[in-house]
Amino acid sequence: MADPIADERFLRRALDLARQGVGLAAPNPCVGAVIVDLKGNIAGEGIYTYAGVRHAEILALEQAGQKARGGTLYINLEPHSHQGRTPPCTDALIAAGVRRVVACMADPNPKVSGTGFEKLRAAGIHVEAGRLEAEARRINETFARYIRGGIPLVTLKSAMTLDGQIAPPPSAVRLTPGTPAGGWITGEEARAHVHEQRHASDAILVGVGTILADDPLLTDRSGKPRRRPLVRVILDSQLRMPLDSRLVQGLGENANDVLIFCAASARKEKKKELERRGLQIEPVRTLSDERLDFHAVIHRLGELEITSLIIEGGSTINTGALASGIVDKVFLYYAPKIMADPNAVPFMRNALPVQPPLLKQAQFHRFGQDFAIEGYLRDPYKE
């Protein structure tokens, strides 16, 4: 007889294992698996990593050995039933004699969703799904957006004062290289969390204005391992990227991690010079006023298997991204400060041409004295 308390405990363990795959599994989903034997003890565990190839279920089965027979698999995502880089995990579960599978959610891939559960049930395995689904969905929302639409999940992140200013006036002095002009808006805890978000993303995007103002490196300094370097994407229509910027000067072996999108009319000589230094330069479609087309940028990133993108731009990028409708979710940090300067840099420069959708599933987070609002403009599992 099923024990709901034990089921939740083992599922939470599977969720914790899945989270350990963040930064290591993309473009595939993060999956954690736990095999519990007939005595109610954990017999095997597995975490999926793209480089490791083998799925979490297979690793857990190998660790469990004969103890898997008659046991239960706890997993955050439906076991796959199709031939991909590896054979179907459902076949291995059936062969191992697992009698019960408890999963948080179905596979968001519409081409295979539910087929794994069907195959297991057809083999006489008892399948339960839906427990802790909300937590499981958050772990793989980037995979869901990518596998359903071929484009990355786009998160707009910004840090601002209570009166909506993201930076002091442009004349403010930069205190040290790589810090924003005028200093940081938020404290250390909030800034550390930003690097957690960068670690969970395949790419980060800013406009060239941010490069000119702050001279950042745009790196993941979470200290956690990742399979692919964080791709640094710069929107620079006329290639104003300074050759003496810290980003260009510090390229080294990571030159291929910087991708600059520009207009076809950008200076050819500057393009050649940046490419000579190892940067990737890609002309992209522009709009009638010569602004880069955000949709063209996002679709190109999807072609490069970028499943998640965090935007950390200034006012112009924030306005353009929201106006274009590419933003899926926002994460807005607030410091308990009021800048009260009419010349300060606002979160947005202009009013949006259309009213953005209401923020859904809004959550409040606290980071020391700072706080943040997180929410969705669209459901990555539906659109």
Catalytic residues: 57
Please tell me the number of Cα atoms within 13 Å of 23 on its side-chain side.
16
Task: State the CB neighbour count (10 A cutoff) for residue 196.
Answer: 13
Residue from 277, 282, 276, 288 nearest 263 by CA: 282
Q: Which residues of 137-163 are buried (b: 16+ CB within 10 A; e: fewer)?
A: bebbbbbbbbbbeebbbbbbbbbbbee
Per DSSP, the three-state class of 39 is coil
Rg (Cα) of the chain, in Å, rounded? 23
Question: 22 with 30: CB under 8 angstroms?
Answer: yes
Question: 152 with 146: CB under 8 angstroms?
Answer: yes
Per DSSP, the three-state class of 329 is strand
Cα 364 to Cα 16, 138, 186, 331, 361, distances in angstroms: 22, 15, 16, 10, 10
- The CA distance from 54 to 46, in Å, is 9
Q: Which residue's structure tokens are 């499943």?
A: 307
Torsion of CA 115, 117, 121, 122, to 10 degrees: 10
Query: Torsion-angle region of residue 90: left (phi > 0), alpha (psi -120 to 50) or beta?
Result: alpha
Q: Which residues of the chain form beta strands (DSSP E)?
A: 32-36, 42-47, 72-75, 100-103, 126-129, 153-160, 165-167, 203-207, 231-235, 258-262, 280-283, 308-311, 329-334, 345-346, 360-367, 370-376
Question: 108 with 143: CB under 8 angstroms?
Answer: yes
Per DSSP, the three-state class of 373 is strand
**Cα–chain-centroid distance for residue 146?**
10
- The CA distance from 149 to 322, in Å, is 19
